[in-house]
Structure 1
C-alpha cells in the first residue's frame, strides 16, 4: 500500500489563489487516502483552525504549516513547526513581517526566517530548477538547521517535467538535502479550476482573455491519491516516501495551544476569585440599599461557584476594570447580550438587567457542560470607544492584546461584479446582473430574472459568469478587524496567533475570527461602539448646559407617561430599537405603557415569534380578545409575563427544561444548534427530543411544534 502525505496545498485563505475551503481540502484528502495534510497558505495561518477542526472530525492527521514568501527574492519556503515552541516562533515570524508592512501584506526576509527557524521543518519550493538562489538558500538553512531542510518538487504536466524533476533531484543531491514530492494543490478537485482562473484574474486585474498563458494550462493542481503521486514520481519514488518521514517529524498540533488568560490583580483579596466575590457582593449592597433580595443572593452564590469551578474570575475582573475605566472618565457604557442573564454582571455594574425583576438563565451565559468561554458584550459611546481600546493596549501591551479578525467574504453582488469583470463583461451588464439579486442569499440570479433585466439568459459568457459567481459567494476576500472583540493572553500573544496591522492607525488584529477563537477556547472581550450612547451623552451635556439638570443612565425617569404616549403613536423616528418600519407598524397595535412592554415590542418583531406564530395570539390576548390560557401550571411561571405565549429565546429554552426534560446545558445546545442550523445541520439531534418530550409530558403536539419553530426562527 502506497503511503503519502500532502505537504503543500493552498486554501482560499491564500486570498485570490486557493480555490477550496480548508475543510474541503481535508475531506478530499481523507477520501483519497492521504495519510496527512498540511494547508500551507501564503504568509498566514488564517485557515488552520478550520482545517484542524475538520481533520479532528474525520480522523485525518493535520499538519500546521505556512508558505513563506519573501520580499528579498528568497525562494518560497514551506514551513512546519515541529513542536509548540517552534509554532510560537512561526507566529512571531509572521507577526514581524506583518507589523512592518501595510494591512494585508507581509514583509519577510531570509534573515528573519533564519533567526526564528529553530524547530522548524523547511521545504524549499520553486518553479524553475535553474534558479541559482535555490542552492544558495538550501545551503544557508541546512547549515543553520541540519536535517530539517528538504527540496520540494511538484509536477506541472508540461513537456519538460521529467527534465525539471531530474534537475531538482540533482540540486538536492549536490547540496545534500532530500528531495520531497508535493502536489502544490490549488484546489481539492479538478472542477474548481475555472474558479481558480477567475481568482487569478481578479488578483491580477485582468480578464480571462487577457490572462492567456498566465493561467495554469490544465486542471491538475488538485489533491491526488498516494498511488497517483507514486506514479507521477516514478523516477524518484524516494521523494514520495520522504513525505511520510518528514510529516512524522511535524508533531505540533493546535490541541497543544493551552490558552492562558492574563493574570488580573487580586486587589484587596488573596485571589482573583476572592476579589470577584468581594466586588460582586459589595456591588449587590450598592444596587439594593434596602437589602439584597434572597433570590439575588442565591443567584450570586450559584454563579460565583460556577465561575470558580471554570476559573473565569480573571475574565470578569477584566470586564469590570474596563467598565470602571470608562465610567471614571465619563464614557457611557452598557453591557448586553447573554451577559444580561448574569446576576454577577449586574452587581459589577456591567449590565442593567435587575435579576430581582426577571428570571435569569445563567446557563445561556456560562455552563460547566458547555466547553465554551463566556462572552460579555459591552457598548461604549462610539466617539470615545477608542479611548477604551487604547487603555486596553496600554494595560496589556500590543504583545499580549489584539483585536480579533473578521473574515470579509464575497456576497452575491460583489461576486457577480468581480466575476463579470474577469469574464470581460461590460460594467453596465455586470451592474444589471448584480442589481438583479435580492437579499444576502447564495441563490444567485435565475434565468428568468436575467431575461427580465433584458439580457440573453442563453449567452454562454453570462451563464458562465453566473455559475462561477455562485461558487465564489462565501469565499473569503480578506481579513479585517472585528468591531471590537479583544483577545488577551498571559504570555506573548504573537506566539499564539500572528498579529497584523489594521488599516486604522494604532490598531492591530490577530488572524483568527470569533469562531476560530471559540474553537480553541480562547476568551475575547467585546468592546463595541454604539452611536446612540453618544447621542445620549450629548443630550446629558445639553440638559446640563441649558437647564442645569444633571443626569446619567441610572437617574433618568424610567416610566414617563408622555414618552409612552409618543411611542404608542409610533412617533419614534430616531429612537433606538423602535424606529424601523416594522417596529413603527407594531407600536400602535401593542401600545406599550412600561419598559417591559418595550422589551416585548422589540422581541416580537423578530423571526422567532413570527415564524412560530406567536405574535397574533399575544396581541389578541393583550387586547382581551382571547382568553389567557397556560399549557400547564408549571409553565405559568415561565410564560406569565407574556400571557402564556413564548416570545423570548430564554422562555423557549426554559420550556425545553421544564416541559421537555432538558438540562440547562442541553437547552443552550438546542439554542446554538438552531442558530447555526442552516450551516451545520445538527438540529435533528434536538427536534425529536423536545417535541416528543413535551408530548410525553401531556402537552399538545401543535404547541410543542410551535415552540420548536419559535426557537428555530432565532437562527
Structure 2
C-alpha cells in the first residue's frame, strides 16, 4: 500500500535506514513495500536483499524531485523498468540537466504524479502507466475535484519519511543543514509534512473506505511489480563473462598467453612450476574466472604499451598464471605462496588484483578501461556524518556563536551546565551521526559488467569525470558485482621520473632495466640500506617504524623484507606476534618455543602467524576446518562480509575440532586470539611481496643514483617526511641545495650536476601565471642577463618581483638582495599598476646610485622560512645558545639504561596510544651530524613537554635497547630558541 517510502539515502532528507523501514513495515503488517528514495538508488539492492528476512515483497523506484519539490514517483515493474528509471535519472544527474516537469514514456515502469502536482500541471491525459497519487490528507480536496472521476487512475500516495516527532525534528535539521540556513529561517516548502509517516493497513483502509477503487488500483500496481536479484549463495557473477566471443576461446587465449610467456619467467621450468600452472588453469576455468584474468591482462598490456609502470598486488599476486602473463611480478614458487589464498573451489568471488599505476598515469588507464569495455562505472562510497562535524553543523543551524560550537564539537563541556539548545545539538548530533551525508568515489574500484550498470543503479558524474554508481562495495559483492582495483600511487612515479632525470643529467649512463629485480635482491649494497635504516625516500620502507623494524630484524634480503612488510601491520604487531617473530628471528634457539604443529605449518616464519595465508593454513591443518570454512575466517578478518552468525559458527567449530584433537584450551585460545587479531589488517603474502618488489626498485635507484632519485621523490610530493627532510637526505648523499633561480629553476625541482635547484612551486605566494610567463619567455628567448633584462621581458608586479628577489633568485647578478629590491621599486610602478602586454621596445633604464646595502645569512634564513616554509641552512646553525654536554646518536649504544642529553632537529612526530589506551608521542630527530634517533614521550610527560613544530630540541631521557635498536624514553624536552632576525633590531 505504500508506493513512496524514503530511507536516509534520500540524502539530508530521510531519517532512518532501509532496514528500519522494513522493520516499520513489519510492525504495521505491510506485506508489500516500495522504496523510492529522492533522486537516489543507493539502498535499493540491500532493500531487496533484506526484504526476504521480513517476509515483505520489495518494490523499488525513484522519487524524482527538483530540490524538495516532488515531480513524480517512478516504480519499476521489473528489472528492465529499474534500468529505465536509472537511465533517465542518470542522464540528468550526469549532465547536470534539470528534471522535466513531466515524465517521459516508460515501457516497464509506473509513474505516479502527486495530486497537487496534477492540479498545477492541469494534466488531463494519462498514459496506461501513469497514475495520480492521493494521500489521506488530500482526500478532502479530492471529493471536490474533477480528478475524482478518473477512478482507474487514482492510487494511494501516502509518503513515508518519518516515524514520529523526533524524526520530524531530525528531518528539519537535515534540511537546514542542506540549505545552509538557520532552522528558524527554513521554508516550509523544504520540509516534509508531519503526516508523512506510516499508518497501519487498517487505518489506510478506513481512510479510503469511500474510495475502494483507489485501494484496488494501488494493490494492482504493487502486484504488477516484480524485481529479482540473486544475493549471497544465490548470486551469480554480474561481471563481464566473456573476453572474446566464447568461453572456449577465452580459455584457449589464457592458455596460449601462459605458454608464450612461460619461458620469460622460468628459463627452465621444473615439474613443480608446470604442475602449479596446470592446477591454477584448471581451477580458474572451473570457477569461470578466465575473463577476469584476461581483463586484468588487457589493462596491464595497455599500460605497458604506453610505457607506464605498474604493480600487481592483492591476493591475486599469489597466482603463477598472473605472474607468467605479467599482471604481477611476484614469483609464487620462489616465495611458496599459498595457492588457496587467492583462489579455491569454495571461493565464489574472483581473486583480488590491486593494480597500482603512477598517480600521473592512472586517469589515462581508467579512461582506456571506459573506452575498451562498454558497461563500465566507478564504485561509490558513502561519506557519513561524523559526530564532531554534525555537532558543528547543528550548532550553526541553531545559530550558536562560534566559541560555543567549538566547545561542543571538542567535548569541552559539562552536560549539566549546558543550556537547552546546546543539549539539543548534542542529542540530535548522536541521532544523525552515521547517516549518509553524500556519495563519493571509491578510492580504486572500477566495475566492468556484462550488461548496463543501470540494471543495478543510477549513476552520477563526480569531478573525476567517469560515471559512478550509487552503491558501495559491500552490497556490490552481495549481488555479484566484483570490482577491479585500479589505484594511483607516487612510488611508481618516483621510479619513472628518476629514470628520466638520470637520462637527462647523466647521458653517459646506459639505459637501466628497472625490471631486473632479481639482480637487485642479491645486491649487498642495496640490502645494506635496509639493514642500516638508509631507505629514506624508498616506497613503503621509509617510515620510522619500518626503518626501525628492519634494523631490529637486520633485514638484508627480499624474503626478510616481505616478512617485515607484514608483521608491522597492526594485527600482527598488536597481538605480540611481532615481538615473538623478532625474537625467534634474531635468536634461533628460541624457535623451539613454537608449538611443533605450528612450526611445521609455518617454518619460514618460525611458527608465528604473519600472513593471511597463515590463517588459512592454521585453520585447515591445525583445526581441521575445510578450505571453505577457512575462507570464511579470511573474509571475516577483512570485513568484506556481513554475517557475524556465519563467522561465529566457524569459531565454535574451530574450538571444538581443536579440543577433539587433544589440544589444551590455553593453546587453543592463544591461537584463536592470534587469528582474531588479524581482523582488517593482515596482508596476503603475495601482497607484501609485490610491495617489496617496488621497494627494491626504489632502493636500487637510491643506492646508485641517489641525487636523481631524491629529486624525483621531491617532485612527486615526497612521502612520509617533510620537504626539508628530503633535502637534508639529498645533502647527505652529496647534493648542493640551491634556492630558486630565474635562470636555472623550473616549476618542479631541477638537478644540474650535483646541484638541486628548488622549484618555483615552493614559493607559496608566487602566482602560477607569473611562473608560466617567465619560464615561457626564458625557453623562447634564452636566459636573463640582469634585473633590467628580466623587467623588460616579463610582465610582473612589484609584489611578485619582490618574492623572487627576497628568495635570491637574481643572485647571478652579484648584487645584494637589498640593492635589487630598491632598484625594482624605482623601476616598476610601486603602486602595483602593471600592463598585461609586453613592451614593444626596450626602454632605457635609469641608473641609480645606492649606498652599500649589506645583508647576512640570518636574514636569508628568515626570508627562506617565510617564502619556502623552511630555511636552507641547518637548524642547528640557527640555535641561539650553547648546546653543550649532549651526546650523539651514534653514542646511544654506550649509554643503555642511562639518562643522557641529545640535541635533535625534529624530523617527524605523531601521537599514538599505549596498550592501555593512554596517549603517547613518537618522534624522530637527527643530531647535528645528521644521524637519526627516536624518542618517546610516554603518558606521564607527553602533555608536560609538547613538541611545537620543526626546530632543535634538547631531549633528556633514558636510552633503551630493543634488539640493538636504540631509542630514548624522554624525561623532559624543550625547544631551543633561534637567533633573532637582525632586521627587527
| Paired residues of 1:207 and 1:424 also in contact (CA < 8 A) | yes
SS in 1 for 2:590: coil
Deviation at 1:476, TM superposition (A): 1.4
Deviation at 1:689, TM superposition (A): 1.5
Deviation at 1:320, TM superposition (A): 0.2
Residue in structure 1 matched with residue 159 of structure 2 by the alignment: 184
1:284 to 247, 250, 262: 262
Whole-angstrom distance in 1 between the partners of 2:56 and 2:380: 27
1:63-115 C-alpha deviation (Å, 9 max, x unpaired): 121112369x99622111212332322222122222321xxxx632256x323
Residue in structure 1 matched with residue 108 of structure 2 by the alignment: 119
Deviation at 1:630, TM superposition (A): 6.8
Whole-angstrom distance in 2 between the partners of 1:559 and 1:459: 69
| Paired residues of 1:151 and 1:179 also in contact (CA < 8 A) | yes
Deviation at 1:220, TM superposition (A): 4.3
| Paired residues of 2:152 and 2:213 also in contact (CA < 8 A) | no
| Paired residues of 2:474 and 2:641 also in contact (CA < 8 A) | no
Residue in structure 1 matched with residue 436 of structure 2 by the alignment: 476
Whole-angstrom distance in 1 between the partners of 2:146 and 2:637: 57
Whole-angstrom distance in 1 between the partners of 2:385 and 2:526: 43
**Residues 1:371 and 2:335 aligned together:** no
SS in 1 for 2:349: coil
Residue in structure 2 matched with residue 555 of structure 1 by the alignment: 516
Whole-angstrom distance in 2 between the partners of 1:308 and 1:200: 52
| Paired residues of 1:393 and 1:401 also in contact (CA < 8 A) | yes
Alignment of structure 1 residues 326-337 onto 2, 5 Å: 326-337=303-314
SS in 1 for 2:329: coil
Residue in structure 2 matched with residue 628 of structure 1 by the alignment: 591
Q: Mean alpha-carbon deviation: is it higher for 560-569 or for 661-670?
A: 560-569
Whole-angstrom distance in 2 between the partners of 1:626 and 1:191: 66
Whole-angstrom distance in 2 between the partners of 1:266 and 1:236: 56
**Residues 1:78 and 2:73 aligned together:** yes
2:240 to 261, 272, 278: 261
1:528-555 C-alpha deviation (Å, 9 max, x unpaired): 1111111111122223334424334421
Whole-angstrom distance in 2 between the partners of 1:632 and 1:381: 44
Deviation at 1:607, TM superposition (A): 2.6
Whole-angstrom distance in 2 between the partners of 1:258 and 1:672: 18
Whole-angstrom distance in 2 between the partners of 1:259 and 1:214: 42
**Residues 1:690 and 2:671 aligned together:** no
- CA separation of 1:630 and 1:695: change in aligned 2, threshold 3 A: farther
Residue in structure 2 matched with residue 47 of structure 1 by the alignment: 43
Deviation at 1:241, TM superposition (A): 4.6
1:516 to 475, 481, 501: 475
| Paired residues of 1:373 and 1:521 also in contact (CA < 8 A) | no
Whole-angstrom distance in 1 between the partners of 2:119 and 2:650: 59
Q: Mean alpha-carbon deviation: is it higher for 315-324 or for 461-470?
A: 461-470
Deviation at 1:289, TM superposition (A): 0.7
Deviation at 1:226, TM superposition (A): 1.7
- CA separation of 1:677 and 1:309: change in aligned 2, threshold 3 A: closer
2:55 to 56, 59, 62: 59
Residue in structure 1 matched with residue 134 of structure 2 by the alignment: 153
Deviation at 1:246, TM superposition (A): 1.7
**Residues 1:656 and 2:635 aligned together:** no
Deviation at 1:670, TM superposition (A): 1.3
SS in 2 for 1:485: strand
- CA separation of 1:599 and 1:189: change in aligned 2, threshold 3 A: farther
Residue in structure 1 matched with residue 331 of structure 2 by the alignment: 354
1:449-503 C-alpha deviation (Å, 9 max, x unpaired): 534xxx8753322222222222222221222222232212344434553232121
- CA separation of 1:172 and 1:214: change in aligned 2, threshold 3 A: closer
Deviation at 1:53, TM superposition (A): 1.8
**Residues 1:14 and 2:10 aligned together:** yes
2:448 to 488, 491, 508: 488
2:120 to 113, 118, 132: 132
- CA separation of 1:244 and 1:618: change in aligned 2, threshold 3 A: same
Residue in structure 2 matched with residue 583 of structure 1 by the alignment: 546
Residue in structure 2 matched with residue 439 of structure 1 by the alignment: none
Alignment of structure 1 residues 101-500 onto 2, 5 Å: 101=96, 107-110=98-101, 113-115=103-105, 117-126=106-115, 128=116, 131-133=119-121, 135-136=122-123, 139-140=124-125, 142-143=126-127, 146=128, 148-155=129-136, 163-167=140-144, 170-188=145-163, 191-211=166-186, 213=188, 220-255=195-230, 259=238, 261=240, 263-265=242-244, 271-291=249-269, 293-397=270-374, 400-434=375-409, 436=410, 445=411, 449-451=412-414, 458-500=418-460
| Paired residues of 1:70 and 1:109 also in contact (CA < 8 A) | no
Whole-angstrom distance in 2 between the partners of 1:122 and 1:652: 53
Residue in structure 2 matched with residue 442 of structure 1 by the alignment: none
Alignment of structure 1 residues 596-615 onto 2, 5 Å: 596-615=559-578
| Paired residues of 1:620 and 1:626 also in contact (CA < 8 A) | no
Deviation at 1:275, TM superposition (A): 0.8
SS in 2 for 1:474: coil
SS in 2 for 1:355: coil
SS in 2 for 1:37: strand
1:584-605 C-alpha deviation (Å, 9 max, x unpaired): 4433322212122222222122
Residue in structure 1 matched with residue 502 of structure 2 by the alignment: 543
- CA separation of 1:622 and 1:27: change in aligned 2, threshold 3 A: same
1:196-234 C-alpha deviation (Å, 9 max, x unpaired): 121111112112233375675975433332223334445
Whole-angstrom distance in 2 between the partners of 1:301 and 1:187: 58
Whole-angstrom distance in 2 between the partners of 1:121 and 1:355: 55
Greater relative CO, 1 or 2 (CA 8 Å, sep 6+): 1
Whole-angstrom distance in 2 between the partners of 1:275 and 1:244: 53
SS in 2 for 1:699: coil
**Residues 1:94 and 2:89 aligned together:** yes
Q: Mean alpha-carbon deviation: is it higher for 657-666 or for 279-288?
A: 279-288
SS in 2 for 1:389: helix
Deviation at 1:613, TM superposition (A): 2.6
1:366-404 C-alpha deviation (Å, 9 max, x unpaired): 34433334332100011111221121122224xx22212
- CA separation of 1:544 and 1:432: change in aligned 2, threshold 3 A: farther
Deviation at 1:522, TM superposition (A): 1.8
Deviation at 1:264, TM superposition (A): 1.8
Whole-angstrom distance in 2 between the partners of 1:99 and 1:191: 35
TM-score, length of structure 1 as denominator length: 0.86
- CA separation of 1:570 and 1:195: change in aligned 2, threshold 3 A: farther
Deviation at 1:238, TM superposition (A): 4.5
TM-score, length of structure 2 as denominator length: 0.64
Whole-angstrom distance in 2 between the partners of 1:677 and 1:710: 19
Deviation at 1:247, TM superposition (A): 0.5
| Paired residues of 1:296 and 1:355 also in contact (CA < 8 A) | no
Whole-angstrom distance in 2 between the partners of 1:675 and 1:57: 25
| Paired residues of 1:80 and 1:120 also in contact (CA < 8 A) | yes
| Paired residues of 2:93 and 2:459 also in contact (CA < 8 A) | yes
- CA separation of 1:257 and 1:461: change in aligned 2, threshold 3 A: farther
2:493 to 534, 539, 559: 534
Deviation at 1:17, TM superposition (A): 0.8
| Paired residues of 1:670 and 1:686 also in contact (CA < 8 A) | yes
| Paired residues of 2:151 and 2:214 also in contact (CA < 8 A) | no
- CA separation of 1:361 and 1:180: change in aligned 2, threshold 3 A: farther
Whole-angstrom distance in 1 between the partners of 2:63 and 2:266: 59
- CA separation of 1:532 and 1:243: change in aligned 2, threshold 3 A: same
| Paired residues of 2:176 and 2:186 also in contact (CA < 8 A) | yes
